[in-house]
Amino acid sequence: MEKVIVFTGNAHPRLAEDICKYIGVPLSNGEVLRFSDGETRVKIQDNVRGKDVFIIQPTSCPANEHLMELLVMIDAIKRSSAKRITAVLPYFGYARQDRKDQPRVPITAKLVANLLDRAGADRVLTIDLHAGQIQGFFDIPLDNLYAVKIFGQYFGDKGIKNLVIVSPDVGGIKMARAYAKKLGAGLAIVDKRRISDTQAEAMHIMGEVEGKNVIIVDDIIATAGSISEAVGALRKNGAKDIYVAATHPVLSGPAIERLAKINVKELVFTDTIPISKEKMLPMMTQLSVAPLLGEAIKRIRKEESISELFE
Ligand code: R5P
């Protein structure tokens, strides 16, 4: 891993440390602080001239602060003559604003793609993008890894019998199908209607869940409106044990209050976003994405194929 340099902002230093351990390089030194007026101040301490630089920074809450840190770091590293800069966004914030679903609204996911590109990123590495098509917003290479590998192993080891994978909305069918295939399980879908940013309503369940153990799979749990509705609907329809697997623990607004009330056996997240001690509930587990990202970084550095990581 000669010539690999890894930096991080303030979004998730522990994940950056774990990735560095996996690839066997020290985390490089850079100050990412604030000026007295709140502006982002970055100083790269290590020499990056001619180096292959990876910046680990999920654009999680506070999204604007973390995004700005990432952009300013890219600028500082570009101007320090790095050979290549890969922006590693384990969680790609703003991804849900990926289309004009009402008049006079922005496509902010595209704007963020433009910003990363213009700041000087040469490539992007991420996990479970909210919608695969967001890749097309970039004119630089983007690798979108899948957490199904991590969750599949975890739930496979549990050997849950009589299992059905449930997508909490129609948009998640492709992801749910991948889990069902990996775990040799059935498939069901919740017909969800979004009422507002924080509220969803489950209309029907398509598929057989009565007497079955289920895993609800989703890319994001934000306010937990979707998941609460899905669990309620599954209970009404006679599901037995309910597990939840969600890649990105955004956990905003009323999420913790809602999750504390839902009756599930286990709520499993990855660590693309850190969960603070105050938000950690007893039924929550967090699985590390460091080996997956670390392996991808190693292969990108060695110019090897990473398609095996997509399977
Ligand atoms: C929707 O398309 C996503 O996959 C998630 O289900 C949604 O973003 C979760 O949001 P919330 O937890 O606020 O319902």
pLDDT tens digits, one per residue of 100-112: 999 999 999 999 9
Ligand 1 and 15: CB distance under 6 A: no
Active-site residue, selected from the candidate residues 51, 192, 240, 298? 192
Multiple choice CATH, 4-145+290-310, 3.40.50.2020, 3.40.640.10, 3.60.20.10, 3.10.180.10? 3.40.50.2020
C-alpha separations of 37 from 11, 34, 42, 106 in Å:
20, 8, 14, 28
What's the CA angle centered on 10, arms 4 and 16, to 5 degrees?
35
CATH topology for the 148-287 domain: Rossmann fold (3.40.50)
Per-residue pLDDT at 19 = 98
Q: How many angstroms separate the alpha carbon of residue 247 from the centre of ligand 1?
A: 11
Mutate to test the pocket of ligand 1, among 92, 98, 226 (most ligand atoms within 8 A of CB): 226
Dist CA 107 CA 96 (whole Å): 9
Which one, of 130, 132, 121, lies nearest residue 57 by Cα? Answer: 121
Establish whether 192 is a catalytic residue. Answer: yes
Ligand 1 and 221: CB distance under 6 A: yes
Per-residue pLDDT at 222 = 97
Kindly give the parts of the chain with pLDDT less than 50. none
Residue bearing the CA closest to ligand 1, atom 10: 222
- In angstroms, what is the C-alpha Rg of the chain? 20
Is the separation of the CB atoms in 55 and 86 below 8 Å? Answer: yes
Ligand 1 and 222: CB distance under 6 A: yes
- CA of 252, closest atom in ligand 1: 13
Per-residue pLDDT at 203 = 75
* Start and end residues for every CATH 3.40.50.2020 domain found in the chain: 4-145+290-310, 148-287
Prior bond of 62 cis (ω within 30°): yes
Ligand 1 and 251: CB distance under 6 A: no
Ligand 1 and 168: CB distance under 6 A: yes
Is the separation of the CB atoms in 128 and 248 below 8 Å? Answer: yes
Per-residue pLDDT at 194 = 82
Q: How many angstroms separate the alpha carbon of residue 221 from the centre of ligand 1?
A: 6
Q: How many angstroms separate the alpha carbon of residue 225 from the centre of ligand 1?
A: 7
What 3 state SS string does 230-279 have? Answer: HHHHHHHCCCCCEEEEEEEECCCCCHHHHHHHCCCCEEEEECCCCCCHHH
At 199-257, the pLDDT tens digits run: 888 778 999 999 999 999 999 999 999 999 999 999 999 999 999 999 999 999 999 99
Instruction: Say which amino acid occupies 68.
Output: M
pTM above 0.75, yes or no: yes
Is the separation of the CB atoms in 113 and 134 below 8 Å? Answer: yes
Dist CA 153 CA 277 (whole Å): 26
- CA of 223, closest atom in ligand 1: 13
